[in-house]
Structure 1
Amino acid sequence: CGMFAHKYPKWVAKLHYGEKYFAFDGVKDLMKFYFNPLKWGKYTNATKDKITSFEVTDYYKQNSVDGFKAFYVIRSDIYGPMGNELIPFDKLEDAKTFQKDHNGKRILKFSEITENIPYELDSK
């Protein structure tokens, strides 16, 4: 989207490709890039099979966690820099607590996030 991720350290998400990485201002925008990097530019080397790590910022602990293993709450009353967001947590129990406290609609594992979900979050 063109926003600067460094302005939003509480929301930073990164896709690593070896020693290079792309930083995003939230998981939602990262997922848009993950599913279709060529939509955003000539990122021919940014394919899923070349990802060496995926970091997200745990909402409660504010530390970096493995995005492939994280749990994501969607449609809560907490918004990120770009509005509705996939709110990441390292532990399922933390995601459940957040879901209850902030009216989250669902908890998703990474494997359950489909290409359409980030765009659906934009259309609240």
Structure 2
Amino acid sequence: EYKAAKAGKGFIKVNRFFPSSKVCSCCMHAQKKMPLSIRTWRCDACGAQHDRDVNAAKNIRAEALRMIAVGTTATANGGSVSQKRGRKSSILLEPLKLEAPSLGRGSSRCYWFSPRFAIS
């Protein structure tokens, strides 16, 4: 956290109990149990193949962006939104170059990025 501040970067803490590695980053289906020995897995709901660490990174990033959106939006009655307390994991936010996801060997593949679902 102090390194992000020193570098002038944003820093978001995500709840450490957020199930980032066992939630499908494509369809958000949560796997029931997944021992740490399983490094790659296929989603039961959509069939997407995931590397455990890459999938967790995608989910932590998405959760941090969701937290930013919630934290900067007023509630319906005009009040401010406060974050929940508790132990947190963290993510360093840096500008990202937007590009199509890699569909190479060992990467996650979401069906809506597949050419057969492309809109022409």
TM-score, structure 1 normalization: 0.25
Return the index of the structure with the highest Cα Rg: 2
Larger relative contact order (Cα-Cα within 8 Å, sequence gap ≥ 6): 2
